[in-house]
Structure 1
Amino acid sequence: MAMAQTLLRSLGRQCLLRNQSVFLQKSLPSSSSAYTEMKEFWSKNRRLERPLSPHLSIYAKELTSGLSLIHRATGIAMAVGVTTISITLFALPGEFPTYIDFVKSLAVPAPIIIAAKYGLCFPVTYHYINGIRHLCWDWAMGFELGRVYKTGYFVVSLVACVCTGFVFGC
């Protein structure tokens, strides 16, 4: 067995040494050319006085990009939050009503409770309502610029109404 392994290794080495020139011929250009191209790119940007981060300085903040960012953030927050809370509740001893009674006994001030309710209501409500808007876009509806802004403002106002109604029990 050991002799067969030694034989295979030596044959493999000989094949690699014989074909080494083939590997070298097909290799990519050296990194020095990439370095010079990158250097030329940045010197051109400095000469033209272009900003390093155009999304921070050139483009105006728009409703559509803000709503898209919030949609992604609420999706990630809910995925992480629901997973964390589920695993935590599964791992904790006792039953759920025990922990609800414990939170009630803390006598948390009303502004903190209101903020917590908004914090729970907003991601779910916003992601759900804006998700319907995205589904309409998937069906190729509502792409006109005016309609995109109208539906964006509608989503923001509807989420504000729903969350306010939830928090204050209306």
Structure 2
Amino acid sequence: MIEKNQIPALDIVQSTARMMKTLLARRLYEFGLYAGQDRIILSLALNDGQSPGSLAKQLGVKPPTVTKTIARLQEQGFVTKRGSHKDQRQLHVFLTKDGHKVVKLIEAAIAATERDITYGLNENEHVTLLKLLGRIQKNVEEQQLELSNIYAENENGIF
């Protein structure tokens, strides 16, 4: 049972994550980038020439969301789409020169945001924070997998 003045960890994590995303979004907006575009650009910087479907799966979002974001990035001149060498019906997304240039700006904005949000933590506290968040992330991933298995079994008439 939650004590009267105790804030649940879930509330703290959700609120903090939302505020952190807002801080980063404000920094990215200075470069003409909108929320979510940074993740696609950074993903392409690591592995250029991905399909929209693989980007969606990698980023954990729905394909229409990625398609819309790619269209906006293309309008802004950060990405271009080309047909696959194997199958011209399959489109792949590539960074343009401007897209490659903005990668460093995104990385700097992320570093500045991380520096600001961890201000006052010593190195040991910072390492501990990352370990704890990593453990929490692993727990959440395991719960999601378990729930998706339960839902799949339920859809298959096992329950």
TM-score, scaled relative to structure 2:
0.29
Q: Which has the higher helix share?
A: 1
| Structure number with bigger Rg | 1
TM-score, scaled relative to structure 1:
0.27
